[in-house]
Amino acid sequence: MFTSEFLDLPPLQSAGGEVVLPGSKSISNRVLLLAALCEGTTDIHDLLDSDDTRVMLAALEQLGCGIERDGVVLRLTGLGGRPPRSPAHLFLGNAGTAMRPLTAALAVLGGDFELRGVARMHERPIGDLVEALQALGCDVGYLGQPGYPPLRIGTPRLVLERPIQVRGDVSSQFLTALLMALPLVAAQDVVIEVQGELISKPYIEITLNLLARFGVVVRREAWRRFIIPAGSRLSSPGAVHVEADASSASYFVALGAIAAQDGDSVRIRGLGRDSIQGDIRFLEAAEQMGAEIRSGPNWIEVRRGAWPLRPIDLDCNHIPDAAMTLAVMALFAQGPSTLRNIASWRVKETDRIAAMAAELRKLGADVEEGGDFLRVAPPTHWRAARIRTYDDHRVAMCFSLAAFNPAALPVRIEDPQCVAKTFPHYFEAFFSVARTAPAHVPVICVDGPTASGKGTLASRIAQRLGWHYLDSGALYRLTALAAVQSGLSLDAGHEAAIARMAERLPVRFDSERVWLDGVDVSDAIRTEAAGMNASRVSALPAVRAALVSLQHSFRALPGLVADGRDMGTVIFPDAPLKVYLTASAAQRAERRHRQLSAKGIATTIDGLRADLEARDARDSQRAVAPLVPAPDALLLDNSEQSIDQSVQLVLQWWEDRQPFGSS
């Protein structure tokens, strides 16, 4: 998962390939709560692993549920009529799918509970649900601002004879919460009546479908009246498979519609058109805009059809979350698009109508927003933009699509880790199917002499940017190690075999650790013997050529930081930022002396300095790729700088080259 402060997306051109989606958040948290409230043990397959499900699981365990993991299966033993463990103070983050249903369930069961979340959760309304529960005889009160969490819950005196009134025009989660909680106390028919127009009806369909799987069949009269039959009892179905998330699928459906062309397609595994999730109807909207879509029982395949996309005017009440993706697709349409009946966006993780309008305008769109609609006219002149994500996972995922803009401008996504709420590895999946010309993938080269600290500097810059890292100096050592492990002699007689191995070397650099075919070999390649073997294979021309090809393969989305002696001069001469890192021989000798002394290796500073000066002379006079700064490299003498100061300076140099301005 990307944990950097921001993620720069370079200009992207096309898309193709297959993605496997995580489980649905809406289904995952409903299944967790139903399994917790029923009798028996439920094996839950394909559960979403995200911030929202983690806070729900932590709360259920705190309340006394049994939770075990068996590989990819989560085994949950429900309360089975036992009262939840009390007192309990529950933290539910920003998970509405945990806060609202747990409030209702604990209110009807009774006990001593406090429910809290992050600051944004304390701004999301819950008053209509609380009023319905209070009318039912539940003891629920506010610990802060009336109408909003945090809440305290006590022991109820339930009155079930008259219908329970709940508003349906703010959030469907209020009705869902009551539907899942009231079977616990349905000694008689329990009636829920919805006041106002019920929004997000497909999410209620999910709730009703899952209740039926747990043994409770709710009668529905239109969308106004719901009857939980007397004697209803939640019981475990034994095993439940969680569908892939249809809202998450919308980004890849849109990606296919925008960028899968010339015979390519984006294939999405994990759900099909028969999904129980309402957001699956996003496919219909995408087809209206021009996407070509095929699907089967557990897959969807999308490619570009009409281009530019056709504008759309749509009532989006049935796809409230996925409709955000349509707002970004509208950037690629041939005229203005209007998304209507989206008032629920105002009370989500952020005010999504205001947030989407602000960020779309940064890209150059003409946007009109109202209380329950958004009108988006595509840009006449695209602009590079920093996308503020408001700690909202869907904002971050939606705007990744803007990197396919026809002006070939980069897009910066701030706080990319916010996608952890529902899709922790979204950007990894996105980059696995997004494509662009190698020249569009940015590279920062850090060249310099031995012991200048270029490896440490480069790896930390890569961490800060969320980019790949290449320690080119380790490749000969790695090649020699792999050859020895395969029984090859390090000589000309095995040159072709070693070269073939080098070109496909399964190496990964992770911070300052080095992995070869999944094994940490960081220490193994830093021995004196490893250095001697590296010198032997470096004398083989075919191996050197193979390693040039291997180094080029590290240039992958979203970007690369490469360190060595010829990264900027030979391997990546078109890199947009080249740094030549150096320090005085005296300073480098002192650093190396400290390193070796810490390992118990006896040496002298004078001897190390002489060795470094001699090596500098040899490296600068090599016939092939001599150690010299690239003509356009920026010189960084870190003799008197800390590593943190050097990192900040290079990041500032990178920032100075970006077109985002202060947007």
Domains and CATH numbers, the chain: 6-22+244-435 (3.65.10.10), 25-160+172-184 (3.65.10.10), 441-467+558-662 (3.40.50.300), 473-557 (3.40.50.300)
Task: Give the 3-state secondary structure of 482-547.
Answer: HHHHCCCCCCHHHHHHHHHHHHCCCEEEECCEEEECCEECCCHHHCHHHHHHHHHHHCCHHHHHHH
Q: What's the predicted TM-score (pTM) here?
A: 0.87
**Annotated binding residue at 657?**
no
| Number of residues in the chain | 663
Token pair 């050097």 in the structure block, residue: 646
**Annotated binding residue at 352?**
yes
Task: Output the DSSP codes for 555-578.
Answer: --TT-EEEEESSIIIII-TT-SEE
Positive or negative: CA dihedral 491, 492, 494, 499: positive
Which residues, 6 or more positions from 598, have their beta carbon under 8 angstroms from its beta carbon? none
Contact 413, 389 (CB under 8 A): yes
**Annotated binding residue at 200?**
yes
**Annotated binding residue at 145?**
no
**Annotated binding residue at 453?**
yes
Task: Output the DSSP codes for 354-374.
Answer: HHHHHHHHHTT-EEEE-SSEE
Copy the structure tokens of residue 647.
Answer: 């990192």
**Annotated binding residue at 348?**
yes
Residues tagged active-site:
321
Contact 286, 329 (CB under 8 A): yes
**Annotated binding residue at 564?**
no
Measured N-to-C along each axis, helices 541-553 and 528-538 cross at an angle, to the nearest 10 degrees, of 100
d(CA 315, CA 61): 40
d(CA 116, CA 6): 28
Regions of the chain where pLDDT drops below 50: none
**Annotated binding residue at 173?**
yes
Which alpha helices (H) appear in 400-492, and where do they start and end? 426-433, 454-465, 475-485
**Annotated binding residue at 448?**
yes
Largest distance between two CA atoms of the chain: 93
Q: SS3 of 324, please? A: helix
**Annotated binding residue at 536?**
no
**Annotated binding residue at 321?**
yes
d(CA 158, CA 149): 22
**Annotated binding residue at 171?**
yes
**Annotated binding residue at 578?**
no
Task: For residue 406, give the nearest of 431, 387, 381 by alpha carbon.
Answer: 381
**Annotated binding residue at 452?**
yes
Contact 74, 47 (CB under 8 A): yes
Of the chain, the end-to-end C-alpha distance in Å amounts to 26
Task: For residue 474, give the nearest of 419, 525, 546 by alpha carbon.
Answer: 525
d(CA 305, CA 287): 9
Q: If residue 619 lies in a helix (H) or strand (E), which one and from where to where? A: helix 605-620
Which residues, 6 or more positions from 446, have their beta carbon under 8 angstroms from its beta carbon? 454, 457, 458, 461, 561, 562, 563, 564, 567, 579, 581, 650
**Annotated binding residue at 610?**
no
Which residues, 6 or more positions from 385, have their beta carbon under 8 angstroms from its beta carbon? 359, 362, 363, 402, 411, 412, 660, 663
Task: For residue 153, give the nearest of 172, 129, 169, 173 by alpha carbon.
Answer: 129
Which residues, 6 or more positions from 227, have their beta carbon under 8 angstroms from its beta carbon? 189, 190, 191, 192, 218, 219, 220, 221
**Annotated binding residue at 25?**
yes
Q: If residue 329 lies in a helix (H) or strand (E), which one and from where to where? A: helix 323-329
**Annotated binding residue at 455?**
yes
Q: What is the pLDDT of residue 539?
A: 86
